[in-house]
């Protein structure tokens, strides 16, 4: 990306993934403006070199003026609600925040000729995949309102691009974990449902034990299997996607994972080897809307973006998550 076009707008940049992407962009010399209403985000995670604006993405006047003033080249859209269990209880709220408000925001971008979008989606759009390693062309079958709202916005972007000069990269995240090696950012959440976050809290004695949500799945040990990608690798994929958008002026959809699955029990066992048996757990019921096995086929984005992971190591992911959790004490 040329330095004459290095202004990037990041929504939800005070969140876990958004803050890591912001840090990387600033490390690479880009000018980043972060907008976040801090409902779930944390101001302390926002890089001090970023231009931070506390506002709702659906505030058309603020967004309109912001885009006119800064002439952004690309917008990276993270803002939204992310808890599967909460979405089952509050589907209308999730539709409002993840689709309706996002649609207003994107339309404001498009009206101001900001037409290159990187969208933070989820592997949850696949539901229970028929294949062990799911590809971007596989059937979409969201099992919960969170995934449904992500898919709705994906489809909105795809349809808009057919009639307008809009270019997008949709990134379907698998399970994002770990923390920046400099510990500038990590996951902060009072109500996290992330396995590795909860295990880290047990490890630093913030919790006495954790609950495994179901051990009766049709998997190798009865617990759900996931593809864990380090958040710093995911941030790098966003950078590569931004460069791809500018150089190719074409749209694409990419699965973001490593292509290797670990069960819940395998993650806990690996953590216990690192920490000398600190993670106590008990078995609970399945969570509504959970899938049994979600692992990426990452070949498409690795080939298209000429990208290779730096942190494809479960032990490293767990160590950085643990070090971040210790920092929060």
What radius of gyration, in Å, describes the C-alpha atoms of the chain? 19
Give the β-pairing of 167-173 and 51-53: unpaired
Q: Where are the beta strands (DSSP E) in 163-221?
A: 167-173, 175-177, 210-213
Neighbours of 41 (CB within 10 A): 23
Residue with tokens 């592997």: 123
Rounded Cα–Cα distance for residues 256 and 2 (Å) = 25
Catalytic residues: 146
Q: Which of 298, 195, 194, 304 is nearest to 256 (CA)?
A: 298
The 3-state DSSP class for residue 7 equals strand
Maximum separation of any 2 CA atoms in the chain, in Å:
57
Q: How many C-beta atoms lie closer than 10 Å to residue 313's C-beta?
A: 13
Q: Yes or no: say if 232 and 321 are a contact pair by the CB < 8 Å rule.
A: no
Angle of helix 231-248 relative to helix 16-27, nearest 10 degrees, comes to: 60
Residues 160-191 as b or e (16 or more Cβ within 10 Å = b): bbeeeebbbbbbbbbbbbbbbeeeebbbbbee
How, if at all, do strands 225-226 and 167-173 pair? unpaired
Residue closest to 264 by CA, chosen among 231, 297, 291: 291
């Amino acid at each position: 990306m040329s330095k004459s076009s290095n202004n990037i707008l990041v929504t939800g940049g005070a969140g876990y993934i958004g803050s890591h992407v912001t840090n990387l962009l600033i490390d690479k010399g880009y000018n980043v403006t972060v907008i976040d209403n801090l409902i779930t985000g944390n101001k302390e995670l926002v890089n001090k070199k970023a231009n931070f604006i506390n506002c709702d993405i659906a505030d058309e006047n603020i967004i309109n003026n912001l885009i006119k003033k800064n002439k952004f080249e690309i917008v990276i859209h993270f803002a939204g609600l992310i808890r599967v269990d909460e979405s089952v209880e509050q589907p209308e709220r999730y539709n409002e925040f993840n689709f309706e408000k996002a649609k207003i925001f994107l339309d404001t971008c498009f009206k101001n000729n900001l037409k290159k979008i990187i969208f933070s989606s989820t592997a949850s759009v696949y539901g229970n995949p028929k294949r062990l390693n799911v590809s971007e062309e596989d059937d979409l079958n969201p099992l919960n309102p969170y995934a449904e709202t992500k898919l709705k916005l994906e489809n909105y972007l795809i349809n808009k691009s057919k009639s307008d000069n809009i270019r997008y990269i949709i990134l379907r995240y698998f399970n994002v974990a770990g923390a920046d090696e400099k510990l500038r950012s990590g996951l902060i959440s009072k109500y996290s449902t992330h396995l590795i976050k909860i295990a880290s809290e047990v490890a630093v004695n913030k919790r006495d034990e954790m609950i495994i949500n179901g051990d009766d799945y049709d998997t190798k040990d009865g617990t759900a299997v996931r593809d864990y990608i380090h958040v710093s690798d995911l941030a790098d994929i966003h950078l590569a996607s931004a460069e791809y958008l500018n150089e190719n002026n074409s749209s694409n959809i990419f699965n973001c994972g490593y292509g290797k699955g670990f069960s819940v029990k395998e993650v806990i066992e690996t953590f216990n080897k690192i920490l000398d048996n600190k993670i106590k757990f008990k078995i609970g019921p399945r969570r509504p809307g959970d899938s049994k096995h979600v692992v990426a086929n990452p070949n498409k984005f690795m080939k298209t973006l000429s990208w290779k992971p730096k942190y494809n190591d479960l032990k490293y992911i767990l160590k950085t998550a643990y070090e971040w959790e210790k920092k929060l004490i």
